[in-house]
Structure 1
Amino acid sequence: MSAVGPLFNPRSIALVGATDKSGWSLNTYNNLIEHSFGGPVYLVNPRSEIVHGVPAFASLSAIGAPVDLAYVMVPTAAVLAILEEGARLGIRNYVVLTAGFGETGPEGERLQESLTALAEREGLTILGPNGNGFINAAAGITPYGLPIPAPLLSGPVGVVLQSGALASAVLSFAQARNLGLSLLTAMGNEAMVSVTDVVDYLVDDPATKVIALFLESVRHPAEFAAVARKAWAAGKPIVAMKIGSSQLASQTARAHTGALVGDDDVVSAAFRQLGVVRVRSLEDLIITAGLLASVGSLPGRRLGVVTPSGGGSEIIADRADDEGLQIPAYAPETVRRLTEIMPKFGTVANPLDVTGYVVVDRTLLGRAMEIVADDPGIDIIVLLTELPRVRPPDPSIFVEAFGQTAKRIQAAGKPVVVVSNALTDITEFGREIAAASGFPYVAGGIEHGLTALGAAVRWSESHVSPEPETGPEALVEGETVGLWAEREAAALLTANGIPVVPSTFASDVDTAAAAADAYGYPVVLKAAAAGLGHKSDIGGVRLGLANEAEVRSAFVDVMDKTKADGVLVQPQRSGGVELLVGVVRDPSWGLTMAVALGGIWVEVLRDSALRLLPVDKAQALRALTELRGIDLLRGARGSETADLDVVADVVARVGQLAVGLGDRLESLEINPLLVRGSRVEALDALVTWRT
């Protein structure tokens, strides 16, 4: 059992501060009694002998029996004294419902620090403060401060929320969709027990198949990454809704990369690398978790769709396309067999509309699904149906029909995803039919159901590899302060094996002309000075210089306009595709790489893929293939095909360089990185060092 295991599995509970005047107290007590907690529940109130109709104790000490969990509801100023008393009695686990701590400001933060210090000194485990408690539905343990809607369904999804106010809404929605939970935890301030602690527990919990998170922040990124990798290795998907987005601080604004990388973008990149499914709504959080718990890993993205509705078929086809799922034509043998059972007015196609004849023949939908399951070109069957809502005079007809379909689903040999038409509650009668017939989980509504299916397919296809090795420390010459413009940045890249366009520094016009002659025309002149970043903004770049006279004239003009120390002379490159490869330091997650279409299109197109560093060559290649403009590298419209293997190798080396620079680096950007066939060269670069 993990460190928080005893917290979630107490055999006896004391409600400290229990009072008839508090709805929190009454709710918590009623939840424990109504959901048949198997151990004693002690009520503690020094001023009332009877609370909630039962005898109360004046203090924890007065109980005179072992207490595994103290649920603390006393005023803020009294919390520390309660924990001190409990520690002397050997009580190790606490839920602190009381607010007024870190969420209120400096004074509350000091109180919370005192609480944490006491817990660490005495070896206590504290959930909260300022939290609702938890519901261990798998074990029937419900110290939770808000009413629990009936029935409390036990099932395969563990839910962890950084919002107590949303906990009951999530619980109600899960139960409305007939989805049972193993554990629901409202975290409160996370003074001691964190989200990652609870996720770690759920990874080891045999009652939990999928973990669903509502996150306001990822407070411990390194711990989160470790537990996410552990969940992946255990085959337990994590589905997360993370709210809040903002751009990185202005310290990265000197580089175009800063326009591509915001805090929320980094979270999405981190989740993708860690195999965490990110969703955008509470509905998708629960429906996606339920679907993954029902079907597990999926074998592909080719769908065989069976419905009783032409309109439903078309909606599914549109949403499948949105999610990148395929709906191939059925094999000839499948078409032949379906034609034999379809009504004469029906048409065999994928998606398949078996028509309203299902009202006459209640076995038609299941038999069609059975045939589609045999099609070798299909990976997953999508079955559009839903549980009945209204109890008829003779319910047995539904038990029989859904039971037959359930047996066909179990025997299909391929995953069957059941989706309802719309997102409506499953009624008590629907739950009865599901239980009696063994009918599987029904994803709520085509919109959310296909969103969940797309997420499940992507999770099944994702590959979470061990963190790549960081490589050796980078070679650096010079003082690592401020901004390194192109001259210094190019030298850094060259020293560390990154290909860079040839360049000559010229502080006088004769040297510039000689360098141009040596390279051959046309050439490029760029202003060179310490700290000079975006040279073109101040007239510091001249392109396409075709002869010595143009070079001399450009030198004089650039030096006059920019007051630079000199110029860089480079052979002009043409053709190919320009990329940006940039690295910035995220304040939470660390070094983050962006790969994007480069040059002048960076901020216009915002076509980028992000990765947390370090990355290896394979991860760099996957990032490149995520770009919407990947076809430009693959030779679209007869252009030269890039050697993606070489490009990925250079991108990975840039990442290794950034990691090798250690804590000194703030940002590094190559823009553009020119790709032409197998030739890859950095044409310009900037490096910003941390202050």
Structure 2
Amino acid sequence: MTAGVRTGRDTSLQGLFAPKSIALVGATDKSGWSLSTYQNLLTQGFTGSVHLVNPRSPEVHGQKACKSLTDIGEPVDLAFVMVPTPAVLDVLREGARLGIRNYVILTAGFGETGPEGRRREEELHAFVREQGLNVLGPNGNGYVNAAASITPYGLAITQPPLAGPVSVVLQSGALASAVLTFMHARNVGLALLTSMGNEMSLSVTDVIDHLVDDPATEVIALFLETVRHPDEFARVARRAAEAGKPIVALKIGASRLASRTAQAHTGALVGDDRVVDAAFRQLGVIRAHSLEELVLTAGLLARTGPLPGGRIGVVTPSGGACEIIADRAEQEGLEIPPFAPETTARLKEAVPDFATVQNPLDVTGYVLVDRTLLPRALDTVAADPGIDAVLALVDLPRVPPADPEAARAYFGAFAEAIRRTDKPVVVSGNVLTDVTETGRGLQAETGFPHVAGGIDHTMKALGAAVRWSRSLPDVLRTQPPAPAPAAVTTGQSGEVWTEHRAARLLADHGVPVVPSTLTADEDEAVAAAERVGYPVVLKAAAEGLQHKSDIGGVRLDLDGPDAVRDAFREVRDTLRHHGHGAAAPVLVQPQRSGGTELLVGIVRDPTWGLTLAVALGGIWVEILADSALRLLPVTPADVRSALGELRGARLLDGARGTEPADLDAVAEAVVGIGELARSLGPRLESLEVNPLLVRGSRVEALDALVTWA
């Protein structure tokens, strides 16, 4: 059943993540997990009741232990289960009788271990669903609710997490502690961190759903090995976008293997990882590619929220940093525009005579003489009407400064300048280093804002934040997918429909297709050519023949009956030579010339479903490998956006005097192909039109291929 709408379960997770009393079931001095969990609750500020449960030891961790949940004798909001694998179900049965609705199961040995473990997990899951329980795990470390100082977490927390606006959901137990450590090192505040375990009952999407409504959470960071419930993931991602809460996701498992639909050219353009990119882009999810990028991007967005645009004003005390920032800005698609004349004039009055006033601005090392120079320059740059956001380069001190009072005055003045401006200000260090207690204390004293990281990480995070901000209106306008059109006749299992049959399917459903006639002999071929007018094209049309040109099965520019007869014989000979028999049919079509050839391909991704690829068609597919992907269904606006991403997009605009394409007509045809694919049911593996010829307002499919799973 789809996560998030399971029958019988109380969908509120408040009791799970904000319990007032916790029982550690299976607590024992023999287990480091048990001791760590208990110590975390004691040392990280939990003010509720903690009950230790062990049927064999009257004392655990120096405290009195109860023999069972029943023996506690008072209500329990959360049971943290650490008993041996065979005993887990009995604990939940006892807990359910007592009215305990929320559980974290640390114990492993379930679905991750093989058939017997899967059987145990299925039995456990059946009981959980029947009782409507909230269960995190099994095989998970628990969670850290820093916002409420509640830490039923099975690994030692060496540094207290800093409470803040970023929540983290991980499909990994071992990496959770590394993320906690890095967030502390970079002064990124945590609301809730959850280690999901096997996701037997509660899934990532359930937790995201909770975080969208959580007032302590402003940004959601995900570490994903897989997306178990794509429809639910799409739903909660849209909810997060509507709430203005960015989702940043590190999705691992990138595959170098193309789609299994190798029969189609589309298979070379669509890989697992590119489909993830397309899905995340359409859902407004920011994709990160490292744990550092995940945390730092989330931290920056928690500071800025949506950005008004990508025009960045840069203020630094370093010419070298200006050059690095300029290079990285171009790579991230950010603009560093010239300052307005009035801004330039004001800056010339402020900076030394030997400074060059331009964007990025190097105020020079004179900041060591005039401590007000950088804040004053920031004031001026932020007031520029052509600037959307300001990037300031400032390193926090790592050791106690020689003159603490001067340092407080400097960082205090800088913080005040940032507070005065009505534009977002992003602060970056030169390189990525830990924020020390000295820097953290100075920030707390002066109100100096979050420092995003080193230049490279900051520019990457800033680029992601700008792209997310730009995409947000489109994401908010996108409606959940409409039901697929009514199913039409489908092919047999493993069948391949080559051009003639595939083109007839397209034409029957409103997709413009070049006229064609299937012929059995030379006379029929000549008669067909006379009807459509010369020049014509002859194509091999044997059943199952997928790539006609690879075997020499296409003849072009045939301008008369004799040429048609000669070509017919040549194509027949080629078919016979390649084992397609002596009587295979030959297709006759009018010759089309000029225009631009596109590929429109659709393949079925095992997670996300039908995926559209558009690319330059014909021979350019293999040469350029340049495509844009979208998940179906698509709108005309989606298609136009995808076409605009192609490196060869200018060909459609009428480059070098060619006829501009009617993009509305192209979009209509591509949407029609997509809707046809959706109507073909779950057995469709791929549908490819290559090429789709575009010449002005004429849009025609010249060749097609349909593969059935």
- TM bucket by the smaller chain? over 0.9
Give the Cα–Cα distance (whole angstroms) in 2 for the partners of residues 203 and 60 of structure 1. 33
The Cα shift of 1:603 comes to 2.9
Instruction: Answer yes or no: is 1:408 the counterpart of 2:421.
Output: no
Is 1:282 the counterpart of 2:301? The answer is: no
For residues 578 and 467 of structure 1, what CA distance do their matches in structure 2 show? 32
Distance 1:333 1:192 in 2: 61
- Name the SS for the 2:217 alignment partner: coil
Residue type of the partner of 1:609?
A
Question: Hey, what does 1:531 align to over in structure 2?
Answer: 544
The 8 Å contact of residues 477 and 492 in structure 1, kept in 2 or not, is answered as no
C-alpha distance in structure 1 between counterparts of 2:351 and 2:93, whole Å? 73
Match for residue 129 of structure 1? Answer: 138
Which stretch has the larger CA shift, 659-668 or 32-41?
Answer: 659-668
SS across alignment from 1:559: helix
Partner residue, 2:673:
654
**Equivalents in 1 of 2:293, 2:23: separation in Å?**
36
In structure 1, distance between residues paired with 2:34 and 2:232:
34
Counterpart position of 2:205: 196
Deviates more, 1:70-79 or 1:387-396: 387-396
Task: Name the counterpart of 1:330.
Answer: 339
The match for 1:502 is 515
Instruction: Name the SS of the counterpart of 1:171 in structure 2.
Output: helix
Q: Decide which of 138, 158, 170 is 1:149's aligned counterpart.
A: 158
- Output one character per residue of 1:156-182: Cα deviation in whole Å (capped at 9) or x when no partner: 001000011000101110111101110
Alignment of 1:26-175 (within 5 A): 26-175=35-184
Asked whether the equivalents of residues 475 and 496 of structure 1 are also in contact (C-alpha less than 8 Å), the reply is: no
C-alpha deviation, 1:664, in angstroms = 3.9
Alignment of 1:447-458 (within 5 A): 447-458=456-467
Q: Aligned pair in 2 of structure 1 residues 299, 99: CA closer, same or farther (>3 Å)?
A: same
Of 536, 539, 563, 1:550 maps to 563
Tell me what 2:592 maps to.
573
Tell me the distance in 2 between the aligned counterparts of 1:504 and 1:541: 15
Residue identity matched to 1:673:
L
Query: Counterparts of 1:595-674 in structure 2 under 5 Å?
Result: 595-674=614-693
Could you tell me how far apart the structure 1 residues matched to 2:193 and 2:490 are? Answer: 54
CA distance in 1: counterparts of 2:260 and 2:190, whole angstroms: 44
Of the structure 1 ranges 495-504 and 472-481, higher mean CA displacement relative to structure 2 is found in: 472-481
Give the 3 Å change call, closer, same or farther, for CA 49–83 of structure 1 in structure 2: same
- Please state if 1:11 is matched with 2:30: no
Cα deviation for residue 587 of structure 1 reads 1.5
Shift of the 354–247 alpha-carbon distance from structure 1 to 2, 3 Å rule, reads closer
Q: Please, which of 504, 512, 515 is the counterpart of residue 525 of structure 2?
A: 512
Shift of 1:478: 8.1
Tell me how far apart the structure 2 counterparts of residues 67 and 533 of structure 1 sit (CA, whole Å).
65
Letter in 1 for 2:641: R
Question: 2:346, 2:526 → 1: CA distance?
Answer: 79
Q: 1:207 aligns with which of 216, 237, 253?
A: 216
- Deviation digits for residues 263-298 of structure 1 (CA, Å, limit 9, x no counterpart): 211111111100000010100000000111110111
Of 638-647 and 584-593, more deviation after overlay is shown by 638-647
1:636 CA displacement: 2.5
Can you list the C-alpha shifts for 1:399-422, whole angstroms capped at 9, x where unaligned?
221121112112211111111110
Provide the rounded CA distance (Å) in 1 between the counterparts of 2:461 and 2:144. 25
The residue identity in structure 2 corresponding to 1:540 is: G
| Deviation larger for 423-432 or 13-22 | 13-22
Q: Is residue 442 of structure 2 the alignment partner of residue 429 of structure 1?
A: no
Q: Distance in 2 between matches of 1:177 and 1:79?
A: 38
**SS state of the match for residue 58, structure 1?**
coil
Provide runs of 4+ in structure 1 moved above 4 Å: 247-251, 474-481
Correspondent of 2:702 among 683, 687, 690:
683
> Contact conserved, 1:167 with 1:186, CA < 8 A, in 2?
yes
Partner of 2:346, secondary structure, is helix
Residue 113 to residue 477, structure 1, CA distance change in 2 (3 Å): closer
- Structure 1 residue runs of 5 or longer lacking an equivalent are none
Tell me how far apart the structure 1 counterparts of residues 543 and 560 of structure 2 sit (CA, whole Å): 28
Cα contact 1:474–1:496 (8 A) shared by 2: no
Work out whether 1:541 is the aligned partner of 2:554: yes
How far apart, CA to CA, are the structure 2 residues paired with 1:474 and 1:78?
49
Tell me the SS of whatever aligns to 1:158: strand
Deviations 1:488-533 (A, max 9, x none): 1111111111111111221110121122233333211001133222
User: Do the aligned partners of 2:259 and 2:268 also contact (CA within 8 Å) in 1?
Assistant: no
Query: Can you list the C-alpha shifts for 1:536-559, whole angstroms capped at 9, x where unaligned?
Result: 222221112232211101101111
Find the aligned partners of 2:591 and 2:483 in 1 and give their Cα distance: 34
Question: Structure 2 vs 1, CA of residues 645 and 346 (structure 1 numbering), >3 Å: closer, same or farther?
Answer: same
The alignment-based identity, stated in percent, is 67
Moved more, 209-218 or 516-525: 516-525
Matches within 5 A, 1:242-261: 242-246=251-255, 251-261=260-270
- The superposition leaves residues 343-384 of structure 1 with CA deviations (integer Å, 9 ceiling, x where unpaired) of 111110110000011111111111101101111111111111
Amino acid at match of 2:669: V
SS of alignment partner, residue 404 of structure 1: helix
Offset from partner CA, 1:245-271 (integer Å, 9 cap, x none): 236787511111111111211111111
Checking the alignment, whether the CA contact within 8 Å between 2:258 and 2:272 is kept in structure 1 is no
Q: How far off its partner does 1:393 sit?
A: 4.8
1:135 alignment partner, SS class: strand
Whole-Å separation in 2 of the counterparts to 1:77 and 1:481: 44
CA distance in 1, matches of 2:198, 2:309: 41
Q: Which one is further off, 435-444 or 201-210? A: 435-444
Which ranges in structure 2 are unaligned for 5 or more consecutive residues? 1-9, 576-580
Distance 2:483 2:599 in 1: 22
* Contact 1:402/1:439, CA 8 A, preserved across alignment: yes
Give the distance between the partners of 2:114 and 2:255, measured in 1 at CA. Answer: 23
- Residue by residue over 1:81-139, the C-alpha shift from the partner in whole angstroms, topping out at 9 and shown as x without a partner, is 11112112211111111111111111111111111111112222110111110001111
- Residue 481 of structure 1 and its aligned partner are, at CA, apart by 7.1
Are 1:240 and 1:278, in contact at CA under 8 Å, matched by a contact in 2?
Answer: yes
Looking at structure 2, the residues matched to 677 and 362 of structure 1 have their Cα atoms a distance apart, in angstroms, of: 62
Question: 1:586 aligned to 2:605?
Answer: yes
Q: Say which is worse superposed, 185-194 or 394-403, in terms of deviation.
A: 394-403
User: Secondary structure of 1:663's partner?
Assistant: coil
CA gap 1:530/1:144 in 2 versus in 1, 3 angstroms: same
* TM-aligned CA distance change 1:132 to 1:658, over 3 Å: same
The normalised TM-score by structure 1 is 0.97
| Paired AA for residue 29 in structure 1 | Y
Paired residues of 1:468 and 1:616 also in contact (CA < 8 A): no
Structure 1 residue matching 2:411: 3-state secondary structure: helix
Mapped partners of 1:604, 1:492: distance in 2: 29
Please report how far the alpha carbon of residue 472 of structure 1 lies from its aligned counterpart in structure 2 after TM superposition.
4.0
Indicate which of 232, 240, 252 corresponds to 2:241: 232
Which position in structure 2 is the counterpart of 1:466? Answer: 479
**What root-mean-square deviation, in Å, do the aligned CA atoms of Structure 1 and Structure 2 show?**
1.7
Distance verdict in 2 for CA 1:186–1:479, change over 3 Å: closer
- Does the 8 A contact of 1:419 with 1:445 survive in 2? yes
Change (3 A) 1:41 1:479: closer
Alpha-carbon distance in 1 for matches of 2:490, 2:151: 62
Instruction: State how far apart, in whole Å, the 2-side matches of 1:348 and 1:62 are.
Output: 75
CA contact (8 A) 1:49 1:55 kept: yes
**What code does the residue aligned with 2:358 have?**
A
